[in-house]
Structure formats: C-alpha cells, structure tokens
Amino acid sequence: IGNNASGTRSVKYGAARDSVLGLKVVLPGGRLVELGTRTRVASTGYPLERLFVGSEGTLGVIVEATLRYVPIPKFRCLGVANFAKLEQAGESITAVMASGCQPSMLELIDKVAIEAVNRAQNLGLPEVEAILLFEADGMVKEAVDFEIERISGICAEHGGFGIEYSYDPAEQARMSAGRKKLFPSLSKFAEALASTALADDMAVPYSHMAECARTIHEVAERHGLVMTAYGHCGAGCMHTKILMDTSRGDQWQAARQAISEIYEFVRRVGGTTSAEHGIGISKAGQFQKEKHGLLDLMRAVKAVFDPNGIMNPGKLVEAPPDWLEAGPLRYHVEDA
C-alpha cells in the first residue's frame, strides 16, 4: 500500500490503490485517523485514503486497511506467442487491449531477457525480439476459451508464431519458466556484469511499449551498457535492469546519462516515472522533472500532515535530484 504496488495481473485487477477502501493511519503527532469507507462507492469529500496509497511513508503510518476482495477465478488459461520483431508484439498489445478482451496478464519479454534465461537456464526459448505471455481467467470456461482464442488470433494476425495455450498448471509452468527465472538469469548474463535496478520501473501508454523497449535498447547500446526491457505491458508497466561493470566509474556515468535519456522518452510519450515500485531516492530527479509544476502543492500537502518533516525524510519531493551523488553506492567502484 505504501508504494501502490501492482503486478502481472494489474492489467485486469488494478494496483493496490484500486483495492483499498479505507485506512487507519497514525499521523506524526500521534493522532489516529480513519480514512475512506467500507463501501464500494463514496462521494464524501476528499478521498484522503487514496492520498496515503503510494505516499511512501512520508505522511503517516498506516496501521489498518480495509480491502476490496475479488473472487478467485475458477479457470485460468495461459498462452505464449513469439515475435520476430518487437514492433509486431507492440501492435499485438495495442490490438488486444482495444479488442474488448480483458486479459488477466499480458507480459512482454525482450531479446536480452530471452538471451539471459537461455544462457543461464538453457531453456531453449526462440531467439526472437519479443515474447508475449498472455492469460485469460474467469468463472465460466466458455468465456475464458473465447478470450484466449481471440488473443491468440490477434497475436497471429500481427506475425506471432509458435502460439500455444493451456489450462494445465504443468504446461503453464513450462511456458512461464523464462519469466519466472529472469532475475537470477540476468545476474549470470556475463561474468563482469552485475544486474542493477536503477531505472527499473516506469509506465508508458501501452501503445508505446514496443517503442519504449526499442528506445531502451538503443540508448543502452549507445552508452556501452546492456539493458533489458520487460514488463506488464497490458498495464503499460515497463521494467528494466542495467547490466554493467559496477567497478567502473565510467559505467555509472553512462548509466546516469542513459537513464536520463530513457526518461525523456517516457515523458515525451505521456508516461510516468514509476509504475509500481515508487520513487524513493533513485527516481527522485526524474519524478521532480515530471511533476515540476506540482512540487509546491506536494510540499504543502506534506507540511499539513508532517509539519516537522519526521516521516521518511529525504524522499520524493525532498530527495536530492541526482541519485549518483545522493549517498554511498553499495558497490565498490575502482576509479570513482
């Protein structure tokens, strides 16, 4: 709740904010307040509970939450499609989202991620520019069948191949193994490269997902870095990892420049700095650029709830704009 987390199924079920009906919060002075309601609808003044979701501990301490539940679907069908070109996957994402289908998952895996899991796990995934994982779920099997066939058909219309889908958990585990084993695989991509979570989380309108991944690859290459681009593409959520030699000072400078260029692209297409991980320190500079016209209002909100500035100080609006200078790195840098 503190950072409005979401995940692979946010394309259908939303982020934490969509599930929070009410909160109990202790304000910095010790006052306990109850925010929100237990009802599905409310039009009762400012929805302060929504303000606290994603506030990253900067306003008060959440001590209780009332959540909206949804029933667990009886049927889940997972599918996969391979694309020679990133743009074909991008067109499929847009077409699926515009089709009226409600996928419960739509995940993009890029060529760097594919290479990483093939190297580390020997999975034998096709060496293509993009793989889409898609899922439909529901209480009625015929409805799930209809959606999964429609999504598969859309992928095929846009050049997808090797398309398959299954209700069988063992088959689903096989199809999603690449995505599940991605993080440890990235760490083993190359002996000298560490997988760093720097510009690791952003969101763009889903119609720009392929362009965003392409931009990330181009920027990384120009700066002598390796970057992967993957994410919950139906929700427009893009994750990256920068694979770099963390002992080299020039790689950190390159990473800083690459991140800056990637976020310029994100803002240009109407995207936002963080999809689900929050701002903290490392994304503060980009967040402050994106919200530059609103920082005075955000500071004023912070001052109302936390006049003495004791709640998670030095984050969000208060964070230093340059993460590289913000504090000691947890890596040893030889020529820093």
Ligand X SMILES: Cc1cc2nc3c(=O)[nH]c(=O)nc-3n(C[C@H](O)[C@H](O)[C@H](O)COP(=O)(O)OP(=O)(O)OC[C@H]3O[C@@H](n4cnc5c(N)ncnc54)[C@H](O)[C@@H]3O)c2cc1C
Residues that bind ligand X in the complex, under the rule CB under 6 A: 2-3, 5-7, 56-57, 61-62, 183, 276-278, 312
In the complex, residue closest to ligand X by CB = 2
Cα–Cα dist 215/52, whole Å: 33
Block residue for tokens 């743009």: 87
Q: Please, what is the Cα angle at 166 between 164 and 169, to 5 degrees?
A: 135
To ligand X, the closest distance from the beta carbon of 9 in angstroms equals 10
Closest separation in Å from C-beta 13 to ligand X: 12
Burial class (CB in 10 A: 0-12, 13-18, 19+), 219: buried
Judged by beta carbon, residue 103 or residue 160, the one nearer ligand X is 103
> Which C-beta is closer to ligand X: that of 15 or that of 114?
15
Give the tokens for residue 76. 């889940």
Q: What is the smallest separation between the CB atom of 78 and ligand X, expressed in angstroms?
A: 17
| Nearest to ligand X of 5, 326 (CB atom) | 5
DSSP string, 121-133: H-------SEEEE
The residue assigned the tokens 């119609």 is: 207
Name residue, tokens 């999964």.
148
The two three-digit tokens of residue 23, written as one number = 């909160």
Place of tokens 């955000």: 298
Task: Give kind and range of the element (H or E) at residue 238.
Answer: strand 237-244
Rg (C-alpha) for the chain, rounded Å, is: 21
Give min distance, CB of 225 to ligand X, in A.
Answer: 20
Closest to ligand X by CB, 147 or 276: 276
Alpha helices in 9-47 (DSSP H): 10-13, 16-19
Nearer to ligand X, 10 or 152 (CB): 10
How far is 186 from 242, CA to CA, in rounded Å?
9
Closest approach, Cβ 262 to ligand X, in A, equals: 19
Burial class (CB in 10 A: 0-12, 13-18, 19+), 225: buried
Shortest Å, Cβ 284 to ligand X = 12
Closer to ligand X by CB, 57 or 153: give it.
57
Task: Say if residues 82 and 92 touch (Cβ distance below 8 Å).
Answer: no
Least distance in Å: CB of 314 to ligand X? 11
Distance CA 191, CA 312 (A): 37
Which residue's CB is nearer to ligand X, number 2 or number 320? 2
DSSP string, 83-115: ESSHHHHHHHHHHHHHTT---SEEEEEEHHHHH
| Shortest distance, position 131 Cβ to ligand X, whole Å | 18
By C-beta, is 27 or 84 nearer to ligand X?
27
Do the Cβ atoms of 279 and 316 come closer than 8 Å?
A: yes
Nearer to ligand X, 91 or 200 (CB): 200
CB 277, min distance to ligand X, A: 5
